[in-house]
Structure 1
Amino acid sequence: MNSSILHFISPPIPYFLDCGRATYGIGERHIKRKNIGVFDLIVVTKGALSIGENDKEWELQQGEALILRPDATHYGAAPCTQETEMIWIHFQTFGSWRECQDMKECLDNQTELIETHKQIAYLNHCDVCSIFIPKHIRVSQKEMEVLNNFTLLEQEPQTMRNWKRQAAFQLFIQHLDRDLASMSDATAFHLAEKIELFIRQNYTRNLSNAILQQELNYHPNYLAKCMLKIYGMTPIEYLTYFRIEQAKKLLIQTAWSVARIAEEVGFHHVSYFSSCFSKKEGISPSNFRMKFIGPR
Protein backbone atom coordinates (compact mmCIF):
# COMPACT_ATOMS: atom_id res chain seq x y z
CA MET A 1 0.00 0.00 0.00
CA ASN A 2 1.64 3.23 -1.17
CA SER A 3 1.40 5.93 1.45
CA SER A 4 3.12 9.05 2.65
CA ILE A 5 5.00 8.69 5.94
CA LEU A 6 4.71 10.67 9.16
CA HIS A 7 8.23 11.13 10.52
CA PHE A 8 8.43 11.81 14.28
CA ILE A 9 11.51 12.48 16.39
CA SER A 10 11.60 10.86 19.84
CA PRO A 11 11.80 11.32 22.81
CA PRO A 12 9.16 12.09 23.70
CA ILE A 13 7.28 9.30 21.98
CA PRO A 14 3.94 10.49 20.48
CA TYR A 15 1.49 10.30 23.34
CA PHE A 16 -2.14 9.19 23.68
CA LEU A 17 -4.85 11.75 24.47
CA ASP A 18 -8.30 10.29 23.90
CA CYS A 19 -10.16 7.56 22.03
CA GLY A 20 -13.63 6.33 21.19
CA ARG A 21 -15.85 4.56 18.69
CA ALA A 22 -18.20 6.02 16.10
CA THR A 23 -20.97 4.52 13.96
CA TYR A 24 -22.28 5.88 10.64
CA GLY A 25 -25.56 4.88 9.02
CA ILE A 26 -26.19 4.79 5.30
CA GLY A 27 -26.08 8.35 3.96
CA GLU A 28 -24.08 9.75 6.91
CA ARG A 29 -20.53 11.03 6.61
CA HIS A 30 -17.58 12.09 8.76
CA ILE A 31 -17.91 15.61 10.17
CA LYS A 32 -15.86 18.46 8.67
CA ARG A 33 -13.21 19.92 10.99
CA LYS A 34 -10.27 22.27 10.62
CA ASN A 35 -7.02 22.54 12.58
CA ILE A 36 -8.15 20.37 15.50
CA GLY A 37 -4.66 20.53 17.02
CA VAL A 38 -4.17 16.77 17.47
CA PHE A 39 -3.40 13.82 15.23
CA ASP A 40 -6.54 11.78 14.54
CA LEU A 41 -6.02 8.06 13.92
CA ILE A 42 -9.11 6.51 12.30
CA VAL A 43 -9.48 2.72 12.02
CA VAL A 44 -12.45 1.29 10.12
CA THR A 45 -13.69 -1.88 11.83
CA LYS A 46 -16.82 -2.40 9.70
CA GLY A 47 -18.04 -1.10 6.36
CA ALA A 48 -16.24 1.69 4.48
CA LEU A 49 -15.56 5.37 5.15
CA SER A 50 -14.77 8.07 2.57
CA ILE A 51 -12.60 10.73 4.15
CA GLY A 52 -10.60 13.67 2.89
CA GLU A 53 -7.76 15.83 4.15
CA ASN A 54 -7.23 19.14 2.35
CA ASP A 55 -7.20 18.15 -1.34
CA LYS A 56 -6.64 14.38 -0.96
CA GLU A 57 -9.30 11.71 -0.41
CA TRP A 58 -9.34 8.05 0.68
CA GLU A 59 -11.92 5.27 0.71
CA LEU A 60 -11.06 3.35 3.88
CA GLN A 61 -12.20 -0.26 3.91
CA GLN A 62 -12.59 -2.55 6.92
CA GLY A 63 -9.19 -3.12 8.49
CA GLU A 64 -7.65 0.07 7.09
CA ALA A 65 -6.50 3.11 9.05
CA LEU A 66 -5.59 6.71 8.30
CA ILE A 67 -3.76 9.31 10.37
CA LEU A 68 -5.10 12.83 9.88
CA ARG A 69 -2.84 15.81 10.56
CA PRO A 70 -3.51 18.29 13.40
CA ASP A 71 -3.07 21.29 11.08
CA ALA A 72 -5.32 20.31 8.16
CA THR A 73 -8.99 20.32 7.16
CA HIS A 74 -10.72 16.91 7.47
CA TYR A 75 -14.08 16.05 5.96
CA GLY A 76 -16.31 13.23 4.85
CA ALA A 77 -15.61 12.88 1.14
CA ALA A 78 -18.85 11.02 0.43
CA PRO A 79 -21.81 9.55 2.33
CA CYS A 80 -21.49 6.00 3.62
CA THR A 81 -23.15 3.39 1.41
CA GLN A 82 -23.27 0.78 4.21
CA GLU A 83 -23.31 0.62 7.99
CA THR A 84 -19.84 1.70 9.10
CA GLU A 85 -17.99 1.57 12.40
CA MET A 86 -14.63 2.98 13.39
CA ILE A 87 -12.21 3.44 16.28
CA TRP A 88 -10.66 6.89 16.64
CA ILE A 89 -7.59 7.82 18.67
CA HIS A 90 -6.31 11.33 19.25
CA PHE A 91 -2.60 11.71 19.93
CA GLN A 92 0.03 14.42 19.85
CA THR A 93 3.77 14.93 19.99
CA PHE A 94 5.78 17.58 21.78
CA GLY A 95 8.65 17.50 19.32
CA SER A 96 9.37 17.75 15.61
CA TRP A 97 7.48 15.90 12.92
CA ARG A 98 7.07 16.06 9.17
CA GLU A 99 4.97 14.33 6.54
CA CYS A 100 7.12 12.93 3.72
CA GLN A 101 6.18 11.29 0.44
CA ASP A 102 8.44 8.26 0.96
CA MET A 103 11.22 6.84 3.12
CA LYS A 104 13.94 8.45 1.00
CA GLU A 105 12.54 11.90 1.73
CA CYS A 106 12.35 11.02 5.45
CA LEU A 107 15.99 9.96 5.57
CA ASP A 108 17.21 12.86 3.44
CA ASN A 109 15.67 15.32 5.93
CA GLN A 110 16.37 13.35 9.10
CA THR A 111 19.39 15.36 10.31
CA GLU A 112 17.61 18.69 9.87
CA LEU A 113 14.50 17.45 11.66
CA ILE A 114 16.55 16.11 14.57
CA GLU A 115 18.36 19.41 15.02
CA THR A 116 15.04 21.30 14.97
CA HIS A 117 13.63 18.85 17.49
CA LYS A 118 16.47 19.36 19.94
CA GLN A 119 15.74 23.07 20.01
CA ILE A 120 11.94 23.06 20.28
CA ALA A 121 11.78 20.09 22.66
CA TYR A 122 14.62 21.35 24.90
CA LEU A 123 16.50 18.10 24.28
CA ASN A 124 19.75 19.55 23.01
CA HIS A 125 21.76 17.12 25.13
CA CYS A 126 19.53 14.06 24.72
CA ASP A 127 19.98 11.04 22.45
CA VAL A 128 17.08 11.01 19.96
CA CYS A 129 15.83 8.77 17.18
CA SER A 130 13.23 8.65 14.39
CA ILE A 131 9.82 6.99 14.34
CA PHE A 132 8.28 6.32 10.92
CA ILE A 133 4.51 5.76 10.69
CA PRO A 134 2.63 5.25 7.40
CA LYS A 135 -0.24 7.69 6.98
CA HIS A 136 -2.50 5.09 5.32
CA ILE A 137 -2.24 1.65 6.91
CA ARG A 138 -3.65 -1.83 6.55
CA VAL A 139 -3.93 -2.93 10.17
CA SER A 140 -2.69 -6.43 11.01
CA GLN A 141 -4.58 -8.82 13.26
CA LYS A 142 -2.04 -8.29 16.05
CA GLU A 143 -2.37 -4.50 15.78
CA MET A 144 -6.17 -4.76 15.79
CA GLU A 145 -6.01 -6.76 19.01
CA VAL A 146 -4.01 -3.92 20.60
CA LEU A 147 -6.59 -1.38 19.45
CA ASN A 148 -9.48 -3.43 20.82
CA ASN A 149 -7.84 -3.16 24.24
CA PHE A 150 -8.80 0.53 24.27
CA THR A 151 -12.46 -0.45 24.49
CA LEU A 152 -11.80 -3.05 27.18
CA LEU A 153 -9.96 -0.44 29.24
CA GLU A 154 -13.22 1.46 29.71
CA GLN A 155 -13.84 -0.98 32.55
CA GLU A 156 -10.69 0.15 34.38
CA PRO A 157 -10.68 2.88 37.08
CA GLN A 158 -9.58 6.23 35.73
CA THR A 159 -6.30 6.19 37.64
CA MET A 160 -5.25 2.99 35.86
CA ARG A 161 -7.06 3.53 32.55
CA ASN A 162 -4.87 6.36 31.26
CA TRP A 163 -1.64 4.53 32.13
CA LYS A 164 -2.79 1.40 30.31
CA ARG A 165 -4.12 3.33 27.31
CA GLN A 166 -0.79 5.10 26.91
CA ALA A 167 1.05 1.77 27.08
CA ALA A 168 -1.32 0.18 24.54
CA PHE A 169 -1.00 3.16 22.19
CA GLN A 170 2.79 3.07 22.33
CA LEU A 171 2.74 -0.65 21.57
CA PHE A 172 0.51 0.02 18.57
CA ILE A 173 2.75 2.69 17.03
CA GLN A 174 5.80 0.54 17.77
CA HIS A 175 4.23 -2.19 15.62
CA LEU A 176 3.58 0.32 12.82
CA ASP A 177 7.12 1.68 12.97
CA ARG A 178 8.70 -1.79 12.83
CA ASP A 179 6.34 -2.98 10.09
CA LEU A 180 7.37 -0.05 7.90
CA ALA A 181 11.05 -0.79 8.51
CA SER A 182 10.54 -4.42 7.46
CA MET A 183 8.77 -3.33 4.26
CA SER A 184 11.63 -0.97 3.39
CA ASP A 185 15.24 -2.07 3.00
CA ALA A 186 15.13 -4.46 5.95
CA THR A 187 18.78 -5.51 5.63
CA ALA A 188 19.99 -1.91 5.75
CA PHE A 189 17.76 -1.09 8.72
CA HIS A 190 18.81 -4.10 10.76
CA LEU A 191 22.51 -3.76 9.99
CA ALA A 192 22.46 -0.02 10.73
CA GLU A 193 20.82 -0.80 14.08
CA LYS A 194 23.55 -3.36 14.84
CA ILE A 195 26.24 -0.79 14.01
CA GLU A 196 24.54 1.86 16.13
CA LEU A 197 24.19 -0.50 19.09
CA PHE A 198 27.80 -1.66 18.83
CA ILE A 199 29.03 1.95 18.78
CA ARG A 200 26.86 2.90 21.77
CA GLN A 201 28.24 -0.02 23.77
CA ASN A 202 31.87 0.56 22.77
CA TYR A 203 32.22 4.29 22.05
CA THR A 204 34.98 4.76 24.64
CA ARG A 205 37.19 2.27 22.75
CA ASN A 206 39.52 3.18 19.91
CA LEU A 207 37.06 2.11 17.21
CA SER A 208 37.90 2.00 13.50
CA ASN A 209 36.38 0.71 10.27
CA ALA A 210 38.64 -2.34 10.56
CA ILE A 211 37.26 -3.19 14.02
CA LEU A 212 33.67 -2.72 12.79
CA GLN A 213 34.38 -5.03 9.86
CA GLN A 214 35.83 -7.65 12.21
CA GLU A 215 32.92 -7.43 14.66
CA LEU A 216 30.06 -7.24 12.14
CA ASN A 217 31.56 -9.27 9.29
CA TYR A 218 30.72 -6.79 6.53
CA HIS A 219 32.98 -4.67 4.32
CA PRO A 220 33.37 -1.09 5.63
CA ASN A 221 31.93 0.32 2.40
CA TYR A 222 28.68 -1.63 2.93
CA LEU A 223 28.53 -0.65 6.60
CA ALA A 224 28.92 2.98 5.60
CA LYS A 225 26.23 2.64 2.91
CA CYS A 226 23.71 1.24 5.42
CA MET A 227 24.47 3.86 8.07
CA LEU A 228 24.26 6.69 5.54
CA LYS A 229 20.89 5.43 4.35
CA ILE A 230 19.34 5.08 7.82
CA TYR A 231 21.23 7.59 10.00
CA GLY A 232 22.56 10.01 7.40
CA MET A 233 26.17 9.52 8.50
CA THR A 234 28.94 6.95 8.26
CA PRO A 235 29.80 4.72 11.27
CA ILE A 236 32.82 6.88 12.14
CA GLU A 237 30.77 10.07 11.82
CA TYR A 238 28.12 8.52 14.07
CA LEU A 239 30.85 7.55 16.57
CA THR A 240 31.98 11.19 16.78
CA TYR A 241 28.36 12.36 17.02
CA PHE A 242 27.57 9.93 19.83
CA ARG A 243 30.73 10.78 21.77
CA ILE A 244 29.83 14.47 21.65
CA GLU A 245 26.27 13.73 22.80
CA GLN A 246 27.68 11.86 25.82
CA ALA A 247 30.11 14.70 26.47
CA LYS A 248 27.24 17.20 26.57
CA LYS A 249 25.60 15.21 29.33
CA LEU A 250 28.82 15.08 31.34
CA LEU A 251 29.41 18.81 30.88
CA ILE A 252 26.04 19.49 32.52
CA GLN A 253 25.89 16.67 35.04
CA THR A 254 29.45 16.66 36.41
CA ALA A 255 32.13 19.08 37.52
CA TRP A 256 34.82 17.17 35.61
CA SER A 257 37.33 19.11 33.58
CA VAL A 258 36.94 19.31 29.81
CA ALA A 259 40.09 17.23 29.44
CA ARG A 260 38.70 14.44 31.63
CA ILE A 261 35.37 14.46 29.81
CA ALA A 262 37.17 14.22 26.46
CA GLU A 263 39.03 11.16 27.71
CA GLU A 264 35.93 9.59 29.24
CA VAL A 265 34.02 9.67 25.94
CA GLY A 266 36.85 8.32 23.81
CA PHE A 267 38.84 11.32 22.58
CA HIS A 268 42.59 10.98 23.12
CA HIS A 269 43.37 14.67 22.62
CA VAL A 270 41.39 17.45 24.27
CA SER A 271 42.19 19.85 21.42
CA TYR A 272 40.63 17.47 18.88
CA PHE A 273 37.62 17.00 21.14
CA SER A 274 37.16 20.77 21.45
CA SER A 275 37.47 21.16 17.68
CA CYS A 276 34.87 18.44 16.97
CA PHE A 277 32.55 19.79 19.65
CA SER A 278 32.73 23.38 18.40
CA LYS A 279 32.21 22.28 14.80
CA LYS A 280 29.05 20.38 15.68
CA GLU A 281 27.55 22.64 18.37
CA GLY A 282 28.84 26.03 17.24
CA ILE A 283 30.18 26.66 20.73
CA SER A 284 33.15 25.43 22.79
CA PRO A 285 32.66 22.77 25.50
CA SER A 286 33.37 25.32 28.23
CA ASN A 287 30.87 27.81 26.85
CA PHE A 288 28.29 25.05 26.43
CA ARG A 289 28.65 24.22 30.12
CA MET A 290 28.44 27.87 31.10
CA LYS A 291 25.26 28.27 29.05
CA PHE A 292 23.46 25.79 31.29
CA ILE A 293 25.08 26.06 34.71
CA GLY A 294 26.65 29.51 34.62
CA PRO A 295 30.23 30.57 35.43
CA ARG A 296 32.06 28.63 38.11
Structure 2
Amino acid sequence: MQCLELAIPPLPQLMLIGYGFWKPGQQHFVRSFHVYDMIFVVKGALYMWEDGQQYDIGEGSMLVLEPGRTHGGQRPCEDTTEIYWIHFVHPAPVRTVDSSQIPWSVPVSQRTDFDLAPCSQLMYLPKFAEWHKSDILPYLKRMLELEQTLSPASSLPLQAQFSGLLAELQASARSRSTSRSRLLCDQVILYLQQNLARPFDAKHMEQALHFHFDYLARCLKQHTGMSPLQYLHDLQIKKAKSLLESTGFSVTEIGLQVGIENVNYFIRLFRTRTGMAPGQYRSMRMGMG
Protein backbone atom coordinates (compact mmCIF):
# COMPACT_ATOMS: atom_id res chain seq x y z
CA MET A 1 0.00 0.00 0.00
CA GLN A 2 1.38 3.40 -1.00
CA CYS A 3 1.21 6.08 1.69
CA LEU A 4 1.78 9.82 1.65
CA GLU A 5 4.37 10.81 4.24
CA LEU A 6 3.34 14.11 5.85
CA ALA A 7 5.46 16.17 8.24
CA ILE A 8 3.81 17.09 11.56
CA PRO A 9 3.27 19.33 13.44
CA PRO A 10 1.08 21.04 12.52
CA LEU A 11 -1.66 18.52 11.95
CA PRO A 12 -3.59 18.69 8.67
CA GLN A 13 -6.49 21.15 8.92
CA LEU A 14 -9.94 20.32 7.64
CA MET A 15 -11.46 22.88 5.28
CA LEU A 16 -14.69 21.21 4.20
CA ILE A 17 -16.47 17.87 4.17
CA GLY A 18 -19.23 17.07 1.71
CA TYR A 19 -21.57 14.22 0.85
CA GLY A 20 -23.56 13.49 -2.27
CA PHE A 21 -24.50 11.27 -5.18
CA TRP A 22 -23.12 11.20 -8.71
CA LYS A 23 -25.69 10.11 -11.27
CA PRO A 24 -24.85 7.79 -14.17
CA GLY A 25 -23.21 9.85 -16.91
CA GLN A 26 -21.69 12.42 -14.55
CA GLN A 27 -17.93 12.91 -14.69
CA HIS A 28 -15.55 14.88 -12.47
CA PHE A 29 -14.26 18.08 -14.06
CA VAL A 30 -10.57 18.84 -14.56
CA ARG A 31 -8.87 21.08 -12.01
CA SER A 32 -5.71 21.76 -10.03
CA PHE A 33 -5.77 23.53 -6.70
CA HIS A 34 -3.63 23.81 -3.59
CA VAL A 35 -5.61 21.63 -1.20
CA TYR A 36 -5.88 17.89 -0.64
CA ASP A 37 -9.07 16.24 -1.91
CA MET A 38 -9.86 12.95 -0.15
CA ILE A 39 -12.67 10.86 -1.69
CA PHE A 40 -14.49 7.96 -0.03
CA VAL A 41 -16.84 5.90 -2.23
CA VAL A 42 -19.68 4.28 -0.27
CA LYS A 43 -21.53 2.78 -3.24
CA GLY A 44 -20.92 2.67 -6.98
CA ALA A 45 -17.64 3.78 -8.52
CA LEU A 46 -15.87 7.02 -9.43
CA TYR A 47 -13.30 7.02 -12.21
CA MET A 48 -10.50 9.54 -11.69
CA TRP A 49 -7.04 10.44 -12.93
CA GLU A 50 -4.26 12.50 -11.40
CA ASP A 51 -1.31 13.64 -13.52
CA GLY A 52 -2.03 10.85 -15.98
CA GLN A 53 -2.40 8.08 -13.36
CA GLN A 54 -5.84 6.45 -13.51
CA TYR A 55 -7.81 5.31 -10.46
CA ASP A 56 -11.05 3.30 -10.35
CA ILE A 57 -12.42 4.17 -6.91
CA GLY A 58 -14.95 1.42 -6.28
CA GLU A 59 -17.27 0.78 -3.35
CA GLY A 60 -15.27 0.75 -0.11
CA SER A 61 -12.25 2.47 -1.66
CA MET A 62 -10.68 5.88 -1.08
CA LEU A 63 -8.24 8.13 -2.90
CA VAL A 64 -6.25 11.16 -1.78
CA LEU A 65 -5.67 13.72 -4.55
CA GLU A 66 -2.66 15.88 -3.83
CA PRO A 67 -2.28 19.69 -3.93
CA GLY A 68 -0.68 21.18 -7.00
CA ARG A 69 -1.46 18.18 -9.17
CA THR A 70 -4.07 18.14 -11.93
CA HIS A 71 -6.96 15.70 -11.60
CA GLY A 72 -10.25 14.95 -13.30
CA GLY A 73 -12.65 12.21 -14.31
CA GLN A 74 -11.33 9.60 -16.73
CA ARG A 75 -14.88 8.54 -17.69
CA PRO A 76 -18.47 9.04 -16.47
CA CYS A 77 -20.06 7.11 -13.60
CA GLU A 78 -21.88 4.00 -14.74
CA ASP A 79 -24.11 3.67 -11.66
CA THR A 80 -25.41 6.03 -8.99
CA THR A 81 -22.34 6.66 -6.86
CA GLU A 82 -22.48 7.71 -3.21
CA ILE A 83 -19.42 9.54 -1.92
CA TYR A 84 -17.98 11.59 0.90
CA TRP A 85 -15.25 14.10 0.05
CA ILE A 86 -12.93 16.07 2.26
CA HIS A 87 -10.79 19.10 1.47
CA PHE A 88 -7.93 19.80 3.84
CA VAL A 89 -4.78 21.89 3.86
CA HIS A 90 -1.25 20.82 4.71
CA PRO A 91 2.20 21.14 3.14
CA ALA A 92 2.90 18.82 0.22
CA PRO A 93 3.93 15.24 1.09
CA VAL A 94 7.55 14.62 1.99
CA ARG A 95 7.42 11.56 -0.25
CA THR A 96 5.30 8.56 -1.22
CA VAL A 97 6.41 5.36 0.51
CA ASP A 98 5.21 1.76 0.63
CA SER A 99 3.62 1.02 3.99
CA SER A 100 5.85 -2.04 4.42
CA GLN A 101 8.89 0.27 4.44
CA ILE A 102 7.60 2.67 7.09
CA PRO A 103 9.65 2.43 10.34
CA TRP A 104 6.57 2.18 12.55
CA SER A 105 8.49 1.05 15.64
CA VAL A 106 11.37 3.53 15.59
CA PRO A 107 11.12 5.60 18.79
CA VAL A 108 11.00 9.38 18.59
CA SER A 109 13.72 11.17 20.53
CA GLN A 110 12.69 12.04 24.08
CA ARG A 111 11.88 15.67 24.77
CA THR A 112 13.16 17.75 27.70
CA ASP A 113 12.22 21.01 29.38
CA PHE A 114 15.01 22.69 27.44
CA ASP A 115 13.21 22.17 24.12
CA LEU A 116 11.44 25.29 22.90
CA ALA A 117 9.87 23.87 19.73
CA PRO A 118 8.04 20.65 18.92
CA CYS A 119 10.17 17.92 17.40
CA SER A 120 9.66 16.96 13.78
CA GLN A 121 7.46 13.90 13.39
CA LEU A 122 5.74 12.10 10.54
CA MET A 123 2.29 10.75 9.80
CA TYR A 124 1.17 8.46 6.99
CA LEU A 125 -1.97 8.60 4.89
CA PRO A 126 -2.97 5.89 2.42
CA LYS A 127 -2.93 7.22 -1.14
CA PHE A 128 -5.36 4.73 -2.69
CA ALA A 129 -6.79 1.99 -0.51
CA GLU A 130 -9.81 0.11 0.75
CA TRP A 131 -11.53 1.35 3.89
CA HIS A 132 -13.73 -0.42 6.45
CA LYS A 133 -17.12 1.26 6.71
CA SER A 134 -17.54 0.21 10.34
CA ASP A 135 -14.34 2.05 11.29
CA ILE A 136 -14.49 5.10 9.02
CA LEU A 137 -18.16 5.87 8.37
CA PRO A 138 -18.91 7.03 11.95
CA TYR A 139 -16.19 9.69 11.60
CA LEU A 140 -17.51 10.85 8.25
CA LYS A 141 -21.11 11.08 9.48
CA ARG A 142 -20.16 12.93 12.65
CA MET A 143 -17.93 15.35 10.74
CA LEU A 144 -20.75 16.07 8.29
CA GLU A 145 -23.14 16.77 11.18
CA LEU A 146 -20.66 19.19 12.76
CA GLU A 147 -19.95 20.84 9.40
CA GLN A 148 -23.65 21.48 8.79
CA THR A 149 -24.06 23.18 12.19
CA LEU A 150 -20.63 24.82 12.30
CA SER A 151 -20.14 27.33 15.11
CA PRO A 152 -17.38 28.34 17.51
CA ALA A 153 -18.60 25.55 19.80
CA SER A 154 -18.32 22.85 17.12
CA SER A 155 -15.17 23.96 15.28
CA LEU A 156 -12.73 22.25 17.63
CA PRO A 157 -14.75 18.99 17.85
CA LEU A 158 -14.87 18.95 14.03
CA GLN A 159 -11.09 19.22 13.75
CA ALA A 160 -10.73 16.56 16.48
CA GLN A 161 -12.97 14.19 14.51
CA PHE A 162 -10.84 14.80 11.44
CA SER A 163 -7.67 13.99 13.37
CA GLY A 164 -9.35 10.81 14.60
CA LEU A 165 -10.18 9.87 11.02
CA LEU A 166 -6.56 10.36 9.95
CA ALA A 167 -5.35 8.25 12.87
CA GLU A 168 -7.78 5.48 11.89
CA LEU A 169 -6.57 5.52 8.28
CA GLN A 170 -2.95 5.37 9.42
CA ALA A 171 -3.71 2.47 11.78
CA SER A 172 -5.36 0.62 8.91
CA ALA A 173 -2.30 1.14 6.72
CA ARG A 174 -0.05 -0.17 9.46
CA SER A 175 -2.14 -3.25 10.23
CA ARG A 176 -2.34 -4.26 6.58
CA SER A 177 1.40 -4.00 6.08
CA THR A 178 2.48 -5.75 9.27
CA SER A 179 5.10 -8.28 8.22
CA ARG A 180 6.45 -11.16 10.25
CA SER A 181 9.61 -9.19 10.95
CA ARG A 182 7.60 -6.25 12.31
CA LEU A 183 5.50 -8.53 14.51
CA LEU A 184 8.68 -10.04 15.94
CA CYS A 185 10.16 -6.56 16.35
CA ASP A 186 7.15 -5.58 18.46
CA GLN A 187 7.50 -8.79 20.49
CA VAL A 188 11.16 -7.99 21.18
CA ILE A 189 10.22 -4.47 22.29
CA LEU A 190 7.55 -5.84 24.63
CA TYR A 191 10.01 -8.40 26.01
CA LEU A 192 12.60 -5.69 26.70
CA GLN A 193 10.00 -3.48 28.38
CA GLN A 194 8.82 -6.33 30.60
CA ASN A 195 12.37 -7.41 31.48
CA LEU A 196 13.85 -3.97 31.96
CA ALA A 197 15.14 -4.62 35.48
CA ARG A 198 16.92 -7.89 34.72
CA PRO A 199 20.43 -8.12 33.24
CA PHE A 200 20.39 -8.55 29.47
CA ASP A 201 20.37 -12.24 28.54
CA ALA A 202 20.19 -13.22 24.86
CA LYS A 203 19.52 -16.87 25.73
CA HIS A 204 16.56 -15.92 27.92
CA MET A 205 15.13 -13.83 25.08
CA GLU A 206 15.44 -16.80 22.72
CA GLN A 207 13.61 -19.05 25.16
CA ALA A 208 10.88 -16.50 25.83
CA LEU A 209 10.19 -15.67 22.17
CA HIS A 210 11.05 -19.06 20.60
CA PHE A 211 13.33 -17.67 17.89
CA HIS A 212 17.09 -17.52 17.50
CA PHE A 213 18.55 -14.36 18.99
CA ASP A 214 20.29 -13.34 15.76
CA TYR A 215 16.98 -13.38 13.88
CA LEU A 216 15.21 -11.42 16.62
CA ALA A 217 18.04 -8.88 16.60
CA ARG A 218 17.79 -8.48 12.81
CA CYS A 219 14.03 -7.87 13.03
CA LEU A 220 14.47 -5.21 15.72
CA LYS A 221 17.33 -3.56 13.83
CA GLN A 222 15.31 -3.50 10.60
CA HIS A 223 12.45 -1.53 12.13
CA THR A 224 14.11 0.55 14.87
CA GLY A 225 17.73 0.92 13.75
CA MET A 226 18.90 -0.45 17.13
CA SER A 227 20.21 -3.74 18.45
CA PRO A 228 18.37 -5.32 21.43
CA LEU A 229 21.06 -4.08 23.81
CA GLN A 230 20.93 -0.56 22.38
CA TYR A 231 17.14 -0.53 22.66
CA LEU A 232 17.35 -1.82 26.23
CA HIS A 233 19.83 0.92 27.12
CA ASP A 234 17.43 3.48 25.65
CA LEU A 235 14.62 2.15 27.87
CA GLN A 236 16.91 2.03 30.91
CA ILE A 237 18.04 5.63 30.55
CA LYS A 238 14.47 6.86 30.09
CA LYS A 239 13.43 4.98 33.25
CA ALA A 240 16.47 6.27 35.14
CA LYS A 241 15.62 9.85 34.20
CA SER A 242 12.10 9.39 35.54
CA LEU A 243 13.40 7.94 38.84
CA LEU A 244 15.98 10.70 39.24
CA GLU A 245 13.26 13.31 38.80
CA SER A 246 10.53 11.72 40.93
CA THR A 247 12.29 9.80 43.74
CA GLY A 248 15.04 10.22 46.31
CA PHE A 249 16.67 6.91 45.43
CA SER A 250 20.44 6.90 45.27
CA VAL A 251 22.23 6.51 41.96
CA THR A 252 23.14 2.94 42.94
CA GLU A 253 19.52 2.09 43.76
CA ILE A 254 18.30 3.56 40.47
CA GLY A 255 20.92 1.58 38.57
CA LEU A 256 19.62 -1.60 40.21
CA GLN A 257 16.02 -0.72 39.41
CA VAL A 258 16.83 -0.37 35.72
CA GLY A 259 18.82 -3.63 35.67
CA ILE A 260 22.40 -2.33 35.91
CA GLU A 261 24.18 -3.65 39.00
CA ASN A 262 27.54 -1.99 38.39
CA VAL A 263 27.07 1.63 39.43
CA ASN A 264 30.17 2.82 37.57
CA TYR A 265 28.91 1.26 34.34
CA PHE A 266 25.49 2.84 34.94
CA ILE A 267 27.07 6.29 35.40
CA ARG A 268 29.19 5.90 32.24
CA LEU A 269 26.18 4.76 30.22
CA PHE A 270 24.04 7.61 31.53
CA ARG A 271 26.76 10.15 30.75
CA THR A 272 27.23 8.76 27.23
CA ARG A 273 23.51 8.96 26.51
CA THR A 274 22.73 12.32 28.13
CA GLY A 275 26.02 14.22 28.29
CA MET A 276 25.95 14.43 32.09
CA ALA A 277 26.21 12.22 35.17
CA PRO A 278 23.02 11.06 36.96
CA GLY A 279 23.69 13.37 39.90
CA GLN A 280 24.10 16.37 37.59
CA TYR A 281 20.89 15.49 35.81
CA ARG A 282 18.98 15.30 39.11
CA SER A 283 20.41 18.63 40.30
CA MET A 284 19.49 20.29 37.03
CA ARG A 285 15.93 18.97 37.12
CA MET A 286 15.47 19.90 40.79
CA GLY A 287 16.76 23.39 40.07
CA MET A 288 14.27 23.80 37.26
CA GLY A 289 11.41 22.71 39.51
Same fold (TM over 0.5): yes
Map of 1:51-200 to 2, 5 A cutoff?
52=50, 59=55, 61-62=57-58, 63-67=60-64, 72-73=67-68, 75-78=70-73, 81-82=76-77, 85-88=83-86, 90=88, 99-103=95-99, 105-107=101-103, 114-115=108-109, 122=118, 133-150=125-142, 154=146, 166=160, 170=164, 173-174=167-168, 176-185=170-179, 187-200=180-193
Map of 1:215-230 to 2, 5 A cutoff?
215-230=208-223
Mark the CA change 1:178 to 1:151 in structure 2 (over 3 Å): closer, same or farther: closer
Q: Is the 8 A contact 2:136 2:168 kept in 1?
A: no
Match of 1:3 in 2: 2
What residue identity is the alignment partner of 1:66? L
Deviation at 1:180, TM superposition (A): 3.3
Q: What CA distance in whole angstroms lies between the structure 2 residues aligned with 1:151 and 1:140?
A: 17
How many positions carry a matched residue from both structures?
276
Spell out, residue by residue over 1:120-143, the C-alpha distance to the aligned partner (whole angstroms, 9 max, x if none): 86579xxx9x86543322223433
Largest Rg, 1 or 2: 2
Deviation at 1:40, TM superposition (A): 6.0
In structure 1, list runs of 5 or more residues that go unmatched. none
Mark the CA change 1:8 to 1:216 in structure 2 (over 3 Å): closer, same or farther: farther
Structure 1, 250-259 or 114-123: larger mean CA deviation: 114-123
What residue identity is the alignment partner of 1:50? M
Q: What CA distance in whole angstroms lies between the structure 2 residues aligned with 1:76 and 1:221?
A: 48
Match of 1:259 in 2: 252
What residue identity is the alignment partner of 1:106? I
Deviation at 1:203, TM superposition (A): 0.5
Q: What CA distance in whole angstroms lies between the structure 1 residues aligned with 2:275 and 2:54?
A: 45
Mark the CA change 1:156 to 1:77 in structure 2 (over 3 Å): closer, same or farther: closer
Q: What CA distance in whole angstroms lies between the structure 2 residues aligned with 1:7 and 1:286?
A: 40
Q: Is the 8 A contact 1:277 1:283 kept in 2?
A: yes
Match of 2:40 in 1: 43
Q: What CA distance in whole angstroms lies between the structure 1 residues aligned with 2:52 and 2:244?
A: 48
Q: Is the 8 A contact 1:6 1:134 kept in 2?
A: no
Q: Is the 8 A contact 1:15 1:170 kept in 2?
A: no
Q: Is the 8 A contact 1:209 1:236 kept in 2?
A: no
Same amino acid, percent of matched pairs: 20
1:210 aligned to 194, 197, 203, which one? 203
